[in-house]
Amino acid sequence: MWVQLFLWIATTLITDYFREPLPAVTASGLGDFNIPTATEGRFVPLAFGTAIIQGPNVTWYGDFVAEKRTVTTGLIFKRDETIGYKY
């Protein structure tokens, strides 16, 4: 019984130590999005009826902020790993 308990604990620790990390995630930049811009000298599109305007020019849109979302993984050998970004 004690041998089986020791083997269970040992294999759990070995598995936790050699666990493969989550795939790397990088934040997207402004060029990856088609968001509205506020640029002087660029025309402001005028839409009549129903239309899709890709990346319109507006007076103010807001600040682009990428917040890192992390999760703690592992039982004994804990690591904070990035799982994505919130924009």
pLDDT digits (tens, 9 = 90+) for 29-42: 666 666 677 777 77
What is residue 30's predicted lDDT score, i.e. its pLDDT? 62
E strands along 1-87, which residues?
Answer: 67-73, 79-86
The pTM assigned to this predicted structure is 0.46
| Residues ≥6 apart with Cβ < 8 Å to 14 | none
| Residues ≥6 apart with Cβ < 8 Å to 71 | 80, 81, 83
What is residue 31's predicted lDDT score, i.e. its pLDDT? 66
Split at pLDDT 50, 70, 90, the class of 59 is low
